Structure 1
């Protein structure tokens, strides 16, 4: 492993999975979604020119490499990895992938400190209501990883390297530098964790992947005012298909209706009733 790249000391395999683990779905000719245990990665593009969005769970690099080669051929590699954010379940295999493919990583500039060893995320809030996953959250890796000079900030003009037609949308709340990726041409939206389609706090729902729109995972969200605004911002884009970081994709009228409902009822659906990052005076 490169000396300038390392995971935090709390990096470890997380024994959590779902019935969707190992399953993939072709959503558009150039957008493919695949579930790694409890989180989704996306491949955007075709054949020799494609991008990996997010990097799965800890110790999932071999599986991700196999997914890429099954789709694009032996020794295929993406042009780059772009990150929605830097939580452990979205960067779990990133160092091994960067070393294997020798490719750059892009993330929002506000996320760079968490990806270069300079700053750790706030501690998960296990006191939020919702279920067993929230209670387990203090055991999740939370120390910053260090990608050194392998990670670069996304361009200021909103474009996404090697993802023609897509723009990044700053959607903070879950993390300061969280981004989603949107293509105006066909309404394709890669959400990350700005909103998800499973109650991520509830272990049964995570395991069964019972589809239900929700806000960002409660136990790792620290700014609920920003999170609410991010959902509103995404709804105004009128996406036709949404690949979320957790849960099954939503499309068409189902997506429109559920996203509009989430905007209207965000405080009831998404925001915890209590917790150390919840401000009862913010609505």
Structure 2
């Protein structure tokens, strides 16, 4: 039997909706950790399904909340969130989803404002990649040592289909950010919505080649 204590979790890249705190804590405990082991919450963007639980999690202990400089005023509640510009297909999808509205994200402090190229001290050095389009300050986080890429909502992997994210502020910028992520040497992508994506670079490159210029 391995008697070594499990490694402590140091970072979360999504805080879920405002009611997610209990479920996130339970998931952490199932992994053999405690919620007080969480030391950083890295928010990829301000949408309520990604930062809604951040305010609660930030109170679990010595937790640092990180987000891009352009997202921070919205997350703090200092600035209203700009609405997405829907395509015709997205307008229908959003209307259907509107039957199940998400709770608003409580304002949350941001302790560190990030910029493109910054390094976060976890996972052997996590690199911040600015990926505007879904929101102005959306980010991805790349762990070169392990080959893992957290894409935020720039990438989705739903029902076996890899695609650019929907409900964007600027779809053209979003597609450019998708292409940028396709250039990263990532073995596994953890996407904003859907299942993790193995052989990530090949999968993203194949989709990027089909996107309009």
Interval containing the TM-score (normalised by the shorter chain): 0.7 to 0.9
| 8 Å Cα contact 1:183-1:189 kept in structure 2 | yes
Please name the residue that 2:51 is paired with. 91
Which of 229, 236, 250 is 2:176 aligned to?
229
Q: Is there any run of 5+ residues in structure 2 with no aligned partner, and where?
A: 1-5
Worse-matched range after superposition: 227-236 or 49-58: 49-58
Moved more, 72-81 or 62-71: 72-81
Aligned residues: 207
Match of 1:36 in 2: none
Structure 1 pair 73–183 and aligned structure 2 pair: CA distance change class (3 A): closer
Partners of 2:14 and 2:51 within 8 A in 1? yes
Contact 1:125–1:137 (CA<8 Å) still a contact in 2? no
Task: Provide the residue aligned with 2:7 in structure 1.
Answer: 47
- Equivalent residue in structure 2 for 1:63, among 23, 39, 44: 23
TM alignment of 1:5-154, pairs within 5 A: 47-74=7-34, 76-125=36-85, 128-129=88-89, 133-136=93-96, 140=101, 145-148=106-109, 150-154=110-114
TM-score relative to the length of structure 2: 0.84
**Residue 259 (structure 1) aligned to one of 201, 204, 210:** 204
Give 5+ residue unaligned stretches, structure 1.
Answer: 1-45, 199-209, 268-282
* CA 1:126–1:227: 2 relative to 1, 3 Å: closer
- Per-residue deviation, 1:157: 5.2
Distance 1:212 1:119, change over 3 A: same
Question: Displacement of 1:221 after TM fit?
Answer: 0.2
Aligned counterparts of 2:123 and 2:51: Cα–Cα separation in 1:
19
Q: Post-superposition shift, 1:57?
A: 2.1
99-108 vs 56-65, which moves further: 99-108
Contact map agreement 1:195 1:231 (CA 8 A) in 2:
yes
Matched, 1:215 2:164: yes
TM-score normalised over the length of structure 1: 0.65
Q: SS state of the match for residue 180, structure 2?
A: helix
Secondary structure of the residue aligned to 1:69 is helix
Q: Using the TM superposition, give the Cα deviation of residue 160 of structure 1 relative to its aligned residue in structure 2, in angstroms.
A: 1.2
SS in 2 for 1:67: helix
Q: Among residues 170, 184, 187, which one is paired with 1:240 in the alignment? A: 187
Which whole-Å CA distance do the structure 2 matches of 1:93 and 1:266 have between them? 34
